[in-house]
Amino acid sequence: MTARELATGRGRPARRIELLGPMRVTVGGDEVEVRGTRRRAVLALLALQAGHVVATDAFLDAVWGAGPPPSGRHAVMSLMSRLRGDLGGSRAGIEQVGGGYRLVPSSWEVDVAEVRGQLRRAREVLASDASAAADELSSALVRWRGPALEEFASMGPLAAQGVALGELRMTIEEELIAARLDGGEGADLVEASFQAVLA
């Protein structure tokens, strides 16, 4: 089933972008193929900044680096058009805003945003409920399916985002251990449960 068929069905299907491991895009629970590294890179940039406008120049920098095409803005418009086609056309949840584009957050679930939200919630409840904080952090960690954004290692800005997401994972790991210790778990038990989360 294509994204267009899913997007025009009854009700609004769940749309999801996962970047914490090999990039995966699903609509209504079915995986959707986003063809081409450039289109995938553009979608990754949009997903990382869901709800915020990503400037056309940022796409040019990430996708073409030091050698953008002479008609850079037209090239980005063309990429966006093809990407929207992959994702269901006019219902793709990508808006052109001023000098850039944004992924409409109400149209998409993004694992990176979810993990950041879980880390924020864990920090908010840590002082009053270390166990709840540990549960949030454990749930965040299991979302990783492998190195983030690895397929974009040769694209400077996305490679840097991949490194930042690796650092985010380490932060969550460290805060999970601290939350478990604050919750009264012994060091041996914390280590065993931590290894179980990572397995």
pLDDT in tens, 79-96: 999 999 999 876 789 999
Mean pLDDT, the chain, whole residue set = 88
Q: HSE (CB half, 13 Å, CA atoms) of 60?
A: 16
Look at the alpha carbons of 125, 127, 130, 134 in this order and tell me if their dihedral is positive or negative: positive
CATH fold for the domain made of 3-103: Arc Repressor Mutant, subunit A (1.10.10)
What is the average pLDDT across 139-143? 96
Output the CA angle 144-32-26, nearest 5 degrees: 45
pLDDT tens digit sequence for 17-54: 999 999 999 988 899 999 999 999 999 999 999 999 99
Counting residues of the chain whose pLDDT is more than 70, the rounded percentage is: 86
Sheet holding 15-18, edge to edge: 30-31, 24-27, 15-18, 109-110
97 Cβ contact list (under 8 Å, min separation 6): 53
What is the average pLDDT across 159-168? 97
pLDDT of 147 over the 80 cut? yes
Strands (E), 56-112: 94-97, 100-103, 109-110
pLDDT of 187 over the 70 cut? no
Cα separations (Å) of 95 from 52, 69, 77, 90, 109? 10, 23, 12, 9, 16
DSSP label at residue 187 = H
Strands (E), the chain: 15-18, 24-27, 30-31, 54-55, 94-97, 100-103, 109-110
Counting residues of the chain whose pLDDT is more than 90, the rounded percentage is: 70
pLDDT of 61 over the 60 cut? yes
